[in-house]
Structure 1
Amino acid sequence: MAREKIKRTLNFKPLVKAFGPLEQKGENSITLFHEEIEAIYLMDLLGLYQADAAKKMNVSRPTFSRIMKSAHEKVALALVSGANLIIKDQKEDYRIAFCSSDKESYKTITPLQPFIIILHINEGEVVSTEILDNPVFVQKGKPGQLLPGFFSEHNVNFFVSSSIGEGLKHALAAKGISPVVTKKIEVEKLLNLGFLNGQQRS
């Protein structure tokens, strides 16, 4: 009887899922699976050791090593051959964070507000809402220095705000967190992944 496969933990949600050469249209495409972009995110971007990254993904170290080797080979092949690189994102589970002036109506959403709201979304539904004190407000610190690490600790995939400075954008990107600029929070839109495509919406 085949052993049941352990479900892998995938927290990173790619904002851009297709890459290709600018000088000419790529004739071939290479698919990078979700577990492979997760491995790149954990080891190459966050700088984790293989053993720690494997624990994050809920896989053995040899399994992680095989995933990482495959991911590196695919990225290298795409760069050398000029092929398109397509990320296959199967994750329907993600977390969205925003800073709010209040706990319910979300009237003002800028990084300096007192509360951080984290919505856990799974298969198109909000399964939990977490309300936390914003360290930027409490410590009177800078958003770019405090928020990215805080969001990373809480497995946040997207940060939504009515305004995001360039420094904060870059700091979020370094943690694999995608910024989304919008004037107001509309939960119905946040449930639609088409809303979270890296473009500014009103």
Structure 2
Amino acid sequence: MGREKTKRNLTYKPAFKDFIPENRPFTGVTLLLDEEMEAIYLMDILNLYQEEAAISMDVSRPTFTRILKNARQKLTRALVYGNKISIQDDNLSYIVAVCSASKDNFKSILSTDQYISIYKVENSEVALIKLFESDVFLKKQKPAIVLPQIFLQFNVNIFLSTRIGEGVKNSLLAKGIQTIEKQIERKEELIGLLSS
């Protein structure tokens, strides 16, 4: 009997879970495990070294190397053979960042507003992780430079705002953070954000 698989620390939340070849019918399906997507995210998006990425996932370096190798082989085969790529996503929780002009309401939620709220959404519950003043507001710094760094510290998956400039969108996307343009009034509206 084999050993029980240890739980991996996964922070990446895929915005898109299925990729289908466009110019002809696909010939098969390649399933990319959530841990394999995490390995690619850590190495190829965040540009971490394998040792750092292994620590982030809470696995040994040899285990991380094996996960990464499997992921890259699967992606290569899918591209060569024209397979549909499906990304497994068993993690039902996600972390959302919202910038707001007030500590108490969401009347204004823009990247230049005074406060940053970080929420964890899990099992239809919303919990505030941290609320703090933003350097974008306090020091008049550029959101596209400041926000990605802050959000990575909290493993943010989604940035929610009523209006998001292209520079902010691109800099967050480069770090694997989704952006959603939507007005909300209550924190409970963060539930189901990925399914809407």
How far residue 27 of structure 1 moved from its aligned partner, in angstroms, is: 2.6
Contact 2:39–2:53 under 8 Å retained in 1: yes
What does residue 25 of structure 1 align with?
Answer: 25
Q: In the TM superposition, what is the alpha-carbon distance from 1:185 to its structure 2 partner?
A: 4.2
In 2, Cα distance between equivalents of 1:55 and 1:78: 28
Deviates more, 1:86-95 or 1:126-135: 126-135
C-alpha distance in 1, partners of 2:138/2:89?
A: 36
Taking the TM superposition and a 5 Å limit, the aligned residue runs for 1:127-146 are 127-146=127-146
- TM-score (ref. length: structure 1): 0.92
Offset of residue 3 of structure 1: 5.3
Aligned positions of 1:46-61 closer than 5 A: 46-61=46-61
Q: CA RMSD in A?
A: 1.5
Letter in 2 for 1:188: E
* CA–CA distance in structure 1, aligned partners of residues 124 and 25 of structure 2: 34
For residues 2 and 73 of structure 1, the distance between their equivalents in structure 2, rounded to whole angstroms, comes to 24
- Secondary structure of 1:117 counterpart: strand
TM-score by length of 2: 0.94
Helix, strand or coil at the partner of 1:194: coil
Letter in 2 for 1:14: P
Give the deviation of 1:157 after TM superposition: 0.5
Report SS of the residue matched to 1:140: coil
Instruction: Indicate the residue corresponding to 1:119 in structure 2.
Output: 119
| CA spacing shift, 1:31–1:162, aligned 2, 3 Å | same
Q: Which stretch shifts more, 137-146 or 2-11?
A: 2-11
Structure 1 residue 23: Cα displacement:
0.5
Whole-angstrom CA distance in 2 between matches of 1:38 and 1:92: 15
Counterpart position of 1:107:
107
Identity %: 43
Q: Is the 8 A contact 1:95 1:118 kept in 2?
A: yes
1:96 aligns with 2:92: no
SS in 2 for 1:56: helix
| Aligned pairs for 1:171-186 within 5 A | 171-186=171-186
1:69 is aligned to 2:79: no
8 Å Cα contact 2:105/2:186 also seen in 1: no
Counterpart of 1:137 in 2: which secondary structure?
helix
Relative to structure 1, the CA distance from residue 104 to residue 91 in structure 2 (aligned partners, 3 Å threshold; closer, same or farther) is same
Q: Measure the CA separation in 1 of the matches of 2:45 and 2:18.
A: 19
Deviations 1:88-118 (A, max 9, x none): 1111121100100111211100011000011
Q: Distance in 2 between the 1:18 and 1:30 partners?
A: 10
Q: Runs (4+) of structure 1 moved beyond 6 Å?
A: none
Asked whether the 8 Å contact 1:92–1:124 carries over to 2, the reply is no
1: CA distance, partners of 2:70 / 2:132: 39
